[in-house]
Structure 1
Amino acid sequence: MTDHPTSPNPTAVPATTARPNPAGVRRLAVLTSGGDAPGMNAAIRAVVRTGTQQGIEMIGVRRGFSGLHRGELVVMGARDVANIIQRGGTILLTARSRTWRTPEGRARGAQVLRDWGVDGLIVIGGDGSFHGGHYLQEEHGIPVIGIPGTIDNDLYGTDHTIGYFTAVETALDAVDKLRDTGASHERIFVIEVMGRHAGHIALDVAVAGGAEEVFIPEDHKPVAGVVEIVKDSVAKGKRGSIIIVAEGYEGGAQGVADAIEAGTGLETRVSILGHIQRGGSPVSSDRILASRLGEAAVYALMEGRKGVMVGRGASGVIYTPLHETWEKRKDVSRDLYRCAMTLSI
């Protein structure tokens, strides 16, 4: 990586791969912001290599918006993103910035981008990151494209977010191991997975892990009902039970465990998986999703799009206004929720 704003771009664009560039984009920046998610590196790689192939000079911003207003920018080429598609975390680093929440902080960041001659910014992150990008564009006219990078899968406008598939697999692996222990000791495990405002991870893990019950923020069912479920499981001869709780469910895993012990007298253990779900090498689905969305983000800016998130749906790439990604609600699959309850007998 070089660290000056005038490095020439030596890449010649092959005629067979060159795409129309009506927006006249010559230089783009990319950053990762908020919580890290497996697949962010794959997205960075896709953004940098797509831009480079199109003759666009690519700039990496270190430490998200926090690094942007401090001027932590570097020129990046195709070789700078080699061998990162399989790595968790983000090579650009990430941070949350209080300064960026102020008009003064965003103004400093906008000036840095102007000084570097940046024609557009690609933000990889969740709703908080998209807020930051949205206000940068609204206040300073710098085109912004969002790429959904968050394990919670809670952004409206895309079927899945980067990191979600890996987080589910990581949590499921832990559930499988805890089930072995629970069965051996005839013990109940209440397992808390990530999901402050959404139960997508919890629901997928509950179905794939054969859980007896699942608690998600979208459904405010009383915790007392789990007592009868556990009693019924014991009566049917089950030696252990798995209960999945999304962290955003009121009372959390500990509240559910306390209710079970008080109502049944059975030994109950709580396991909070926490940040382990954010780490690790991304699974293939996250690598593919990140690669396709990274490419789409660059093409969107070349086409003159701005203020939108690139997502994936049944029809292909979806473009959703950034503000809609947090203003509109993305519900969990109610069919999957029914399936979880049906199969828990």
Structure 2
Amino acid sequence: MSAIKCIGILTSGGDAPGMNAAIRAVTRSAIYNGMTVKGIYRGYKGLITGEVETFNSQSVSNIIQRGGTILKTARCMEFKTPEGRKVAYDRLEAEKIDALVAIGGDGTLTGARIFAQEFNFPIVGLPGTIDNDLFGTDVTIGYDTALNTIIECVDKIRDTASSHERLFFIEVMGRDAGFLALNGAIASGAEAAIIPEISMETDQLSDMIETGFRKSKNSSIVLVAESEITGGAMGVAERVKKEYPQFDVRVSILGHLQRGGSPSAQDRILATRMGAAAIDALLDDQRNVMIGIQNDQLVYVPFSKAIKNDKPINRELLNTLRIVSM
């Protein structure tokens, strides 16, 4: 039987739809297994400032359908220092918290890994990020909802693009990964996607225009990942105005629209499965692992692999997009 009697749970970094479903699942699974649960507000910052509250089953009622995170989230520069992490550890000891479940993306898991190593403290991570860029899991919590939000927005923009015969560059999130841009382009019927994974290999804008894109269409939509590598939608649009002045160009930046909204059924189910699996992992004396999903099976992924390895884009999807956007 695990020696863990009390767990803490926090959300950190950018919020993602489905985080509340994960909080709910972790809390109720822990209580079901006889553990005490303490919610930590504002991520790692809350550990340092002592924003900790005991949770019961009722604490997480009626939240599965809500976007954002009831635990709030915040950036915390102090946690990046050894002194700050020591304060956080002292807080865990004072609260008699034996293990931690951290929900977030790359930065969250990086902080968890460093902390776990420094203090030999059990932590299980859940991949909560709309970017879908964590290695070792086919999909992350929040990605499906963000993708559906993008599709809804692009569908509306297409109506006006068609009416005015314009070329729209739509910027979506994905600083280091093009999953939202590529799959959003396929799902919305966009003509192309400009993503960071390919930008270092080829001039995507030049390739797109010189291959005769748009020759049979009166309007076109291109999704652009917000990355510095791609230049973002504004950067791409400026290039078109200079190099291809025949196009009537418009830019739309979706921004934080992509983070909001009620989570999809898929994200609610994924977050619930992962949340319950986090408690199972702790009961099995697992530590310093992220709960991932591969081929619909839950897996334990060491923090080192989830953080350090780049998640590859499916290049077959690029070819599919080229074919169906003719």
| TM-score when normalising by structure 1 | 0.91
1:47-101 superposed Cα distances (whole Å, 9 cap, x missing partner): 0000011110000000000011111110001111000000000000000100000
Q: Which residue of 1 aligns with 2:252?
A: 271
1:160-188 superposed Cα distances (whole Å, 9 cap, x missing partner): 00000001001111100000100001111
Please point out which of 44, 50, 67 is paired with 1:71: 50
Please point out which of 182, 185, 189 is paired with 1:210: 189
Structure 1 unmatched runs, 5+: 1-21
Pairwise CA distance, 1:336: 1.3
Question: Which letter does structure 2 place at the counterpart of 1:279?
Answer: G
In the alignment, the residues of structure 1 paired with residue 213 and residue 207 of structure 2 have an alpha-carbon distance, to the nearest angstrom, of 11
**Is the 8 Å Cα contact of residues 156 and 330 (structure 1) preserved in structure 2?**
yes
Please point out which of 206, 217, 237 is paired with 1:257: 237
In the alignment, the residues of structure 2 paired with residue 64 and residue 202 of structure 1 have an alpha-carbon distance, to the nearest angstrom, of 28
**Is the 8 Å Cα contact of residues 227 and 259 (structure 1) preserved in structure 2?**
no
Change (3 A) 1:206 1:135: same
Pairwise CA distance, 1:264: 4.2
1:286-341 superposed Cα distances (whole Å, 9 cap, x missing partner): 00000000000011011100000011111611111112112111011111121111
Identity over aligned pairs, percent: 47
Pairwise CA distance, 1:158: 0.6
Question: Which letter does structure 1 place at the counterpart of 2:209?
Answer: V
The answer to whether residue 289 in structure 2 is matched with residue 293 in structure 1 is: no
User: Higher mean Cα deviation, 133-142 or 42-51?
Assistant: 133-142
Q: Which has the larger radius of gyration?
A: 1
Q: Aligned residues, how many?
A: 321
Q: Which residue of 2 aligns with 1:12?
A: none
In the alignment, the residues of structure 1 paired with residue 207 and residue 239 of structure 2 have an alpha-carbon distance, to the nearest angstrom, of 9
Question: Which letter does structure 1 place at the counterpart of 2:260?
Answer: G
The answer to whether residue 20 in structure 2 is matched with residue 38 in structure 1 is: no
Matches within 5 A, 1:197-236: 197-220=176-199, 221-222=202-203, 223-229=205-211, 232-233=213-214, 235-236=215-216
**Is the 8 Å Cα contact of residues 226 and 260 (structure 1) preserved in structure 2?**
no
Matches within 5 A, 1:167-246: 167-220=146-199, 221-222=202-203, 223-229=205-211, 232-233=213-214, 235-236=215-216, 238-246=217-225
Please point out which of 20, 23, 34 is paired with 1:55: 34
Pairwise CA distance, 1:34: 0.3
Change (3 A) 1:315 1:266: closer
In the alignment, the residues of structure 2 paired with residue 283 and residue 336 of structure 1 have an alpha-carbon distance, to the nearest angstrom, of 23
Please point out which of 326, 330, 339 is paired with 2:307: 326
Three-state SS of the structure 1 residue aligned to 2:37 is strand
Pairwise CA distance, 1:204: 0.7
**Is the 8 Å Cα contact of residues 11 and 103 (structure 2) preserved in structure 1?**
yes
In the alignment, the residues of structure 2 paired with residue 258 and residue 116 of structure 1 have an alpha-carbon distance, to the nearest angstrom, of 54
Moved over 3 A (4+): none
In the alignment, the residues of structure 1 paired with residue 307 and residue 5 of structure 2 have an alpha-carbon distance, to the nearest angstrom, of 30
**Is the 8 Å Cα contact of residues 194 and 230 (structure 2) preserved in structure 1?**
no
Q: Which residue of 2 aligns with 1:120?
A: 99
Pairwise CA distance, 1:227: 2.8
| TM-score when normalising by structure 2 | 0.96
Q: Which residue of 2 aligns with 1:336?
A: 317
Three-state SS of the structure 2 residue aligned to 1:171 is helix
In the alignment, the residues of structure 2 paired with residue 24 and residue 115 of structure 1 have an alpha-carbon distance, to the nearest angstrom, of 17
The answer to whether residue 136 in structure 2 is matched with residue 154 in structure 1 is: no
In the alignment, the residues of structure 2 paired with residue 29 and residue 148 of structure 1 have an alpha-carbon distance, to the nearest angstrom, of 17
Q: Which residue of 2 aligns with 1:309?
A: 290
1:140-165 superposed Cα distances (whole Å, 9 cap, x missing partner): 11100000000000000111000000
Change (3 A) 1:315 1:277: closer
In the alignment, the residues of structure 2 paired with residue 274 and residue 267 of structure 1 have an alpha-carbon distance, to the nearest angstrom, of 23
Three-state SS of the structure 1 residue aligned to 2:115 is helix
Q: Which residue of 2 aligns with 1:136?
A: 115
1:26-48 superposed Cα distances (whole Å, 9 cap, x missing partner): 11000000000000000000000
User: Higher mean Cα deviation, 132-141 or 256-265?
Assistant: 256-265
Structure 2 unmatched runs, 5+: none
